[in-house]
Amino acid sequence: MGSIRQSRIEEVIREELSMYFQRNAREICLGAMVTVTTVRVTPDLSLARAYMSIFAGPPKEEVLENIKENASKIRGEVGRRLKNMKKCPDLKFFIDDSLDYAMEIDKLLKK
């Protein structure tokens, strides 16, 4: 369980990433719809792990690879918008497969 500050930073980074992906969907997300579901920040605030759901577009892996290639650009943009932080955490991106997992369990339970 993280601190209140850590939770607030996670939420602010999640919101900023969501807005960034909305503004740059064609360039960064290759036209896919990307939803940032969760952001987890380490206790020392040096690393943020962003979990994303990717819908409607090129294969998820291709979109994720393009996002990872542009991670430094994304971090710079998010860092400029986080004015009250001394340093923006490094960003690592992952596909959030919890929705797929939940649908699979639901399908198994219905059998």
User: CATH number of the domain at 4-110, please?
Assistant: 3.30.300.20
Domain ranges for the chain, please list them.
4-110
Secondary structure of the chain in the HEC alphabet? CCCHHHHHHHHHHHHHHHHHHHHCCCCCCCCCEEEEEEEEECCCCCEEEEEEEEECCCCHHHHHHHHHHCHHHHHHHHHHHCCCCCCCCEEEEEECCHHHHHHHHHHHHHC
The pTM (predicted TM-score) of the whole model is 0.84
**pLDDT tens digit sequence for 23-79:** 988 888 888 889 999 999 999 999 999 999 988 878 889 999 999 999 999 999 999
